[in-house]
Every structure is written in C-alpha cells, then in structure tokens.
Amino acid sequence: MNKRKKALLTVAFIAGVFLIGLYGVDSSDGYLAVSKLLSDPQGYAGQNINIVGIVADGSLEKSPGMTSFELKDENDENLKIHVNYV
C-alpha cells in the first residue's frame, strides 16, 4: 500500500473514532434531568441520585463542610432545584 492510501486510511480512521466519541456516547447516561426529578420528586425520596443541569449564575455558596447552589434544567431554565452538597 502506498503512502497516500495509508495517510487517507489513517485520517478516515481518526475521523471515525472522533465521530463515534462525539455522537455515539451519551454523557448523561445514569443522570436525571432537573425536569424529570421535578416531575415526580416523591418518587426519588430517600434515594441517591445523579442530576445533570446548569449551575445558576451567582448561586454558588461555599461554607465549611457544605457547598450549595441552584441547578437549572438544561432545556428549561425556569425549572431549578436547590442543592446542598455535604
């Protein structure tokens, strides 16, 4: 195989791996959206859950032993929850 074909195959392979990495993996697997949590908050009472969202500007507060913030839904910024991380 000549150098040109090897170079083209290498570029195609790298592009394929990049596209699979970019679109083939959902980084939010195992995480609840804020909107889903708010649709049935009692359904998650007493459970450890992972939430995905956007930290609201100016809401981050740190104190010894605890960090608190408002977490907004990625698709509807009007939906938000208050989080106390201990």
Q: What is the pLDDT of residues 70-86, one digit of tens each?
A: 999 999 989 999 999 88
Q: Distance between CA atoms of 20 and 13, rounded to whole angstroms?
A: 11
Q: How far is C-alpha 15 from the chain's CA centre?
A: 24
How far, in Å, are 5, 9, 10, 22, 28 from residue 18 at the CA level?
20, 14, 12, 6, 18
Amino acid symbol at 46 = G
24 vs 63 pLDDT, higher one: 63
Structural domains in the chain (count): 1
Q: Label residue 24 by pLDDT band (50, 70, 90).
A: low
* pTM, entire model: 0.61
The pLDDT of residue 30 is 81
* Section 18-43 average pLDDT: 80
Q: What tokens were used for 3?
A: 């150098």
Note down the domain range covering 69. Answer: 3-85
First to last CA, the chain: 59
